[in-house]
Amino acid sequence: MSDTMQRPLDVLGSSVDKRIIVKTKNGEDIIGILKAFDSHINIWLDEAKIEGEKEVKLGKVLIRGDNIVYISPGK
Amino acid sequence: MSDTMQRPLDVLGSSVDKRIIVKTKNGEDIIGILKAFDSHINIWLDEAKIEGEKEVKLGKVLIRGDNIVYISPGK
Amino acid sequence: MSDTMQRPLDVLGSSVDKRIIVKTKNGEDIIGILKAFDSHINIWLDEAKIEGEKEVKLGKVLIRGDNIVYISPGK
Amino acid sequence: MSDTMQRPLDVLGSSVDKRIIVKTKNGEDIIGILKAFDSHINIWLDEAKIEGEKEVKLGKVLIRGDNIVYISPGK
Amino acid sequence: MSDTMQRPLDVLGSSVDKRIIVKTKNGEDIIGILKAFDSHINIWLDEAKIEGEKEVKLGKVLIRGDNIVYISPGK
Amino acid sequence: MSDTMQRPLDVLGSSVDKRIIVKTKNGEDIIGILKAFDSHINIWLDEAKIEGEKEVKLGKVLIRGDNIVYISPGK
Amino acid sequence: MSDTMQRPLDVLGSSVDKRIIVKTKNGEDIIGILKAFDSHINIWLDEAKIEGEKEVKLGKVLIRGDNIVYISPGK
């Protein structure tokens, strides 16, 4: 690979302070504003909520990376 | 990343001695006062209790990080 | 092994900017254009969608490598 | 973090020779007197028993850390 | 062990460019021609297909090692 | 911790050549005479048998550590 | 531990070229002649077959260590 090749986590780097969707291994969609992430894909969201049968408001939340299936900057 | 970028575990650093919610992989909400954490996201809570169908009082508790889905400073 | 032996991730290196299928451990097929990957097989797709009973459009997505069963450049 | 910050495993350090409850991933409560632990949260209990539908006496027992959800010095 | 002792992955080294069967943890048999592997037992197959209730043609495929139960050069 | 503090695996060190019970993650009790162990808690038993609905005689057996919930020198 | 203490994998070292039983996490018994193993307990068997409701002949097979519950040189 060349040094200028993009890396997967660049998707997150360009999404800080923007709304993202985090799909967890138990099938939940957690939506919030990305504040920070690390190499384990631990994620800090603000204004987070769980979408689903009943919406759950979480506010500020730290999601442990090993529970995450995928992350999308939204549709 | 710049050196001043926030990291996900900063959410925990600013929550020490405050009440947090820990969602575990078996679906329980453990609520308590955060006393300490480490890089594995092992968590020490005081005055902890499990919310759910029947509330269980735990008092002081060490939660092993690999059981944690997310942590929130509360709603 | 000789230094010129191919490595499994070469399949991904030759698929950048091409459409691939990612099979996840929960049985979903996520299809999109491969933009980047790393040694953990974390995958960044563009124009991604989940195929299945109901198609879900994801757009840009980061898939965490430990959820992936296999990746194919398509049929 | 300052050097004097508490660490989560300090909960265990202050519980040696005291009775603790260990919740395992298969939902069991193992109760006993903490004799030793390590950084993997492997736990050695004396006078241990499994509480539940039918109590099982274990006596001395080594619990492998990766099976542990949480540990509490008791209610 | 002597330096000349065989190692388990030698089974794969002698199967490059030959047809192998990969049994995955979800019970599928993926059959194809082995092109490359690494120490994590990540596998690159060509002309791959999933055998089972309904055969699925995959063509070129990268199988992530942690999904693999066993690999056989065939019956 | 002081240098003289006991470690959890000391339970095993004092049980070599004695009969122990190994509880596995699939719920089985494997009973046998402990011959050797390592830091991963891989266990070699002699005269081993699986207790349960139907007893299974194993003789000499190596149990991989990551399948073990707890180990007890017996009731 | 003294330098002369036996280690659990010595069970395998003394079983090379002999018939062993490998119990996998999905409950299968794979029987074959041990040709090689490594520190991850990856196993290469010759003349292997899966015992169970219907016997499956595998011939030469590489079993990934993380699928193995226990290994026995036989009853």
Please tell me the predicted confidence (pLDDT) of residue C2.
Answer: 45
- pLDDT (tens digit per residue) in A24-34: 999 999 999 99
Residues G48, E21: Cα–Cα separation, whole Å = 14
Average pLDDT score, chain F: 91
Looking up tokens 């470690």 gives: F7
Q: Tens digits of per-residue pLDDT, G17-57?
A: 999 999 999 999 999 999 999 999 999 999 999 997 889 99
Residue of F nearest to D59 (CA): F75
Place F2 in a pLDDT band, splitting at 50, 70 and 90. Answer: very low
| pLDDT of E39 above 90 | yes
Inform me whether the C-beta atom of residue C4 falls under 8 Å from chain E C-beta atoms. Answer: no
G20 and chain E in contact, CB less than 8 A: no
Share of chain E above pLDDT 90, in %: 80
pLDDT digits 0-9 by tens, E4-27: 578 999 989 999 999 999 999 999
| Mean pLDDT value of segment C53-68 | 94
Per DSSP, the residues of C22-67 read EEETTS-EEEEEEEEE-TT--EEEEEEEEESSS-EEEEEEEE-GGG
- pLDDT at position C52: 78
Rounded to the nearest 10°, the torsion over CA E68, G70, B65, E69 is 0
Where are chain A's structural domains?
10-72
pLDDT at A2 (0 to 100): 45
CA distance C30 to C53: 13
Q: Is residue G72 predicted with pLDDT exceeding 80?
A: yes
Q: What's the mean per-residue pLDDT of chain D?
A: 91
pLDDT > 90 fraction of chain C, expressed in percent and rounded: 80
pLDDT for C74? 64
Report how far residue B38's alpha carbon sits from residue D4's, in angstroms, rounded to the nearest whole number.
13
**pLDDT surpasses 80 at C40:** yes
φ, ψ of residue A39 in degrees (nearest 5)? -70, -20
Say yes or no to pLDDT of F23 above 60: yes
Beta pairing partners, G61: G45
Residue A67, min C-alpha distance to chain C (Å): 9
Please state the separation of Cα F18 from the chain's center in Å: 10
Residue C4: per-residue pLDDT: 59
CB E66 within 8 A of CB C25: no
Is there contact between D and F if contact means ≥3 C-beta pairs under 8 Å?
yes
Average pLDDT over residues C29-34: 97
Query: For residue D2, what pLDDT is reported?
Result: 45
Question: For the domain E10-72, what is the CATH code?
Answer: 2.30.30.100
Quote the CA–CA distance of G44 and C14 in Å, as a whole number.
32
Does the beta-carbon distance from G66 to F66 stay under 8 Å? yes
Tell whether the model's pLDDT for residue D48 goes beyond 90: yes
Is residue C42 over pLDDT 80? yes
Spatial distance between the Cα atoms of E66 and F63, rounded to a whole number of angstroms? 20
Asked whether the predicted pLDDT for residue D1 surpasses 50, the reply is no
pLDDT in tens, B20-51: 999 999 999 999 999 999 999 999 999 999 99
Residues of chain C in contact with residue A38, where contact means CB-CB under 8 angstroms, are none
Mutate to test the interface with C, among E33, E58, E62, E68 (most CBs of C within 10 A): E62
| Entry field: residues in chain B | 75
Mutate to test the interface with F, among D62, D66, D68 (most CBs of F within 10 A): D62
Kindly indicate the confidence band of residue C20, based on its pLDDT and cuts at 50, 70 and 90. Answer: very high
Q: What pLDDT, in 10s, does the model give residues D51-68?
A: 978 899 999 999 999 999
- Grouping H, G, I as helix, E, B as strand and the rest as coil, residue G65 is helix
Does D57 lie at the interface with F, CB-CB under 8 angstroms? yes
HSE-up of C65 (CA within 13 Å, CB side)? 21
Q: pLDDT value at position F6?
A: 86
pLDDT value, residue E1: 44
Selecting from 2.30.30.100, 3.30.70.1290, 1.20.840.10, 3.60.130.10, what CATH number does the domain C17-72 have?
Answer: 2.30.30.100
What's residue B2's pLDDT? 45
| Residue E75, pLDDT above cutoff 60 | no
The continuous run of DSSP H or E covering G16 comes out as none
Query: Nearest-CA distance from B36 to chain D in Å?
Result: 5
Cβ atoms of D39 and D25 within 8 Å: the answer is no
The verdict on ipTM greater than 0.85 is yes
Question: Distance (Å, rounded) from C-alpha G51 to C-alpha G36?
Answer: 21
Task: Count CB neighbours of G53 within 10 A.
Answer: 6
Cross-chain CB nearest to G68 (options F38, F43, F64): F64
User: Mean pLDDT across the stretch C6-33?
Assistant: 94
What's the token pair of residue C36?
């980047």
